[in-house]
């Protein structure tokens, strides 16, 4: 018996999740609907189970929807993503699409046009079975391009690589145009070839697309190879920093933590945070705790401070003092307190390296 597809709905509003569960139960293919109230929970569920679609809210505390989507795009490139939000700002729409989401729906539109929404979701559930390159990720991008050329296809190949989206237009097996990272034609094609991983999707042909590329695939590939040998420089500092930020967010999610704040000992240096927006307040409290601990340690000659822990009904906090900064790791209330010191140390071990 064929297993049912699974849909994960992420929203911090419990009532909305209940409503969505009932609503999506009307889908003709009867997928299994699961819900998560936090980004961290959603990511751990995605790690544990194979889902077909993630339906994600944008405005959520701690880890917002865009952060979740950044991680999802890298860690689960085959997952279909749908944004379902109450935020009407076009800026969020374009940022979500830049992250490669498949659909962007406003909650109000979804309620008004529920049938269309269900049709879209059903279509996404079934699209993987209908062909295209989504399921051919084991293949090299180059293989896919060569297959399109050799088969004499007319199509548009859409490539998602993390937050980057590229398109290559084929007409009767010839490359006619490409677009990526603000470039087009040959330059865009070379940029796409540099992407290390991603997902492919074949879109309907656009015969009216203007031709900007005239070289054959072979000559483009040999040019790319020559340029690639000369240009081995890694991505820009901003790209690398962003990539590291996303990897660190993913590490937090995998560990099951909620957030990390790095509070420098010097007040004039800015604190950094991953997964929380309460950065300065947490950092300020952390510096205060450090000073109190220092005074207590000196008064009692109690030796160095190894860590500080605290908890309330919502979460556990663990402070790990370093020579020039203190890490604060937030853990969910249900975490096992006895293991948090070691888990926090492991999580932040190579944080700034």
Partner 1 sequence: MGLLKWFSSPRPTVHKLPSGSFTVDRHGKVMTGTVAADCPAAVLDDIAKEVLSVFREARAAQMPLAEVSLDFAGIKISARDMQGGAIIFLLPKNPLATAEAKT
Q: Which residues bind partner 1 (CB under 8 A)?
A: 278, 281-282, 284-285, 288-289, 292-293, 295-313, 317, 341
Give dist(CA 264, CA 274) in Å, integer.
15
- Least Cβ distance, residue 15 to partner 1 (angstroms): 25
Task: Record the tokens describing residue 124, joined without a space.
Answer: 């996404």
Phi, psi (degrees; rounded to nearest 5) at 350: -115, 35
- Least Cβ distance, residue 282 to partner 1 (angstroms): 6
Whether the CB-CB separation of 182 and 174 falls below 8 Å is answered with no
Give dist(CA 61, CA 40) in Å, integer.
11
Give dist(CA 351, CA 54) in Å, integer.
29
- Least Cβ distance, residue 293 to partner 1 (angstroms): 5
Taking the least distance from each CB to partner 1, the nearer of 45 and 305 is 305
- Least Cβ distance, residue 265 to partner 1 (angstroms): 16
Taking the least distance from each CB to partner 1, the nearer of 210 and 299 is 299
Q: How far is CA 164 from the centre of its chain?
A: 12
Taking the least distance from each CB to partner 1, the nearer of 147 and 265 is 265
- Least Cβ distance, residue 196 to partner 1 (angstroms): 40
Taking the least distance from each CB to partner 1, the nearer of 228 and 310 is 310
- Least Cβ distance, residue 263 to partner 1 (angstroms): 11
Taking the least distance from each CB to partner 1, the nearer of 46 and 252 is 252
| Nearest one of 68, 72, 110 to 88, comparing CA atoms | 110
| Nearest one of 63, 76, 45 to 254, comparing CA atoms | 45
Whether the CB-CB separation of 5 and 126 falls below 8 Å is answered with no
- Least Cβ distance, residue 40 to partner 1 (angstroms): 17
Give dist(CA 104, CA 39) in Å, integer.
18
Cβ neighbours of 120 (radius 10 Å) = 16
Radius of gyration of the chain (CA): 24
How many residues are listed for the chain in this entry?
A: 353
- Least Cβ distance, residue 124 to partner 1 (angstroms): 39
Residues 242-250: contacts with CB under 8 Å, at least 24 apart:
243/162, 245/274, 246/70, 246/71, 246/74, 246/162, 247/74, 248/274, 248/351, 249/63, 249/67, 249/70, 249/71, 249/274, 249/275, 250/43, 250/71, 250/74, 250/75
Taking the least distance from each CB to partner 1, the nearer of 44 and 276 is 276
Taking the least distance from each CB to partner 1, the nearer of 244 and 277 is 277
Taking the least distance from each CB to partner 1, the nearer of 232 and 306 is 306
């Amino acid at each position: 018996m064929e297993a049912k597809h699974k849909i994960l709905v992420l929203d911090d509003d419990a009532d909305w999740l209940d409503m969505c569960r009932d609503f999506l139960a009307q889908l003709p293919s009867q997928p299994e609907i699961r819900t998560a109230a936090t980004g961290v929970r959603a990511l751990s569920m995605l790690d544990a189970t194979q889902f077909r679609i993630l339906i994600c809210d944008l405005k959520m505390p701690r880890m917002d929807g865009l952060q979740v989507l950044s991680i999802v795009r890298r860690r689960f490139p085959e997952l279909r993503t749908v944004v379902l939000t109450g935020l009407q700002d076009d800026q969020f729409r374009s940022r979500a699409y830049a992250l490669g989401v498949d659909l962007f729906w406003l909650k109000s539109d979804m309620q008004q046009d529920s049938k269309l929404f269900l049709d879209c979701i059903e279509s996404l559930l079934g699209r993987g079975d209908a062909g295209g390159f989504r399921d051919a990720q084991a293949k090299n991008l180059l293989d896919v391009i060569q297959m399109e050329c050799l088969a004499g296809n007319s199509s548009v190949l859409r490539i998602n690589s993390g937050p980057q989206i590229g398109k290559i237009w084929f007409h009767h097996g010839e490359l006619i145009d490409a677009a990526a990272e603000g470039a087009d034609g040959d330059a865009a094609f070379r940029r796409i070839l540099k992407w290390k991983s991603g997902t492919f999707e074949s879109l309907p042909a656009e015969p009216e697309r203007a031709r900007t590329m005239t070289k054959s695939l072979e000559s483009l590939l040999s040019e790319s190879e020559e340029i690639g040998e000369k240009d081995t420089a890694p991505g820009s500092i901003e790209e690398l920093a962003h990539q590291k930020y996303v990897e660190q967010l993913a590490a937090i999610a995998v560990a099951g933590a909620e957030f990390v704040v790095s509070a420098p000992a010097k007040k004039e240096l800015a604190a950094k945070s991953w997964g929380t927006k309460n950065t300065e307040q947490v950092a300020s409290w952390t510096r205060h705790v450090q000073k109190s601990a220092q005074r207590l340690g000196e008064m009692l000659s109690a030796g160095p401070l190894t860590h500080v822990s605290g908890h309330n009904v919502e979460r556990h906090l663990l402070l790990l003092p370093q020579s020039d900064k203190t890490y604060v790791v937030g853990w969910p209330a249900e975490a096992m307190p006895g293991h948090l010191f070691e888990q926090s140390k492991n999580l932040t071990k190579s944080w700034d390296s």
